[in-house]
Amino acid sequence: MLFYFQRLFLTRREFWRELRERGLRIMKKLLIALDDSASAMKAAEYAAAQLSGDNLQVGLVHVLPNLPAIFWDEGHILSDAEKKERKNVVDKWVADRKAKMDPIFKKAVEVLARAGIKAQSITTKSISDSTDVSDSILEEAKDGGYQTILVGRCNRSARHLLGSVSGKIVNHAEGIAVTVVG
Whether 9 is in a domain gets the answer: no
In a domain, 164, yes or no: yes
The whole domain housing 107 covers: 27-67+75-181
In a domain, residue 7? The reply is no
* 67-102: pLDDT as tens digits: 776 666 667 777 888 888 888 888 898 899 889 999
Rounded to two decimals, the pTM is 0.76
Note whether residue 5 is domain-resident: no
Asked if residue 11 belongs to a domain, the reply is no
Residue 5 binned pLDDT confidence (cut-offs 50, 70, 90): very low
- pLDDT, one tens digit per residue, over 13-31 is 666 676 666 655 556 889 9
Alpha carbon dihedral 126, 131, 132, 137, in 10-degree steps, equals -30
Taking the alpha carbons of 155, 158, 163, 167 in that order, is the dihedral positive or negative? Answer: positive
pLDDT at 6: 44
Provide the CATH number for the domain around residue 91.
3.40.50.620
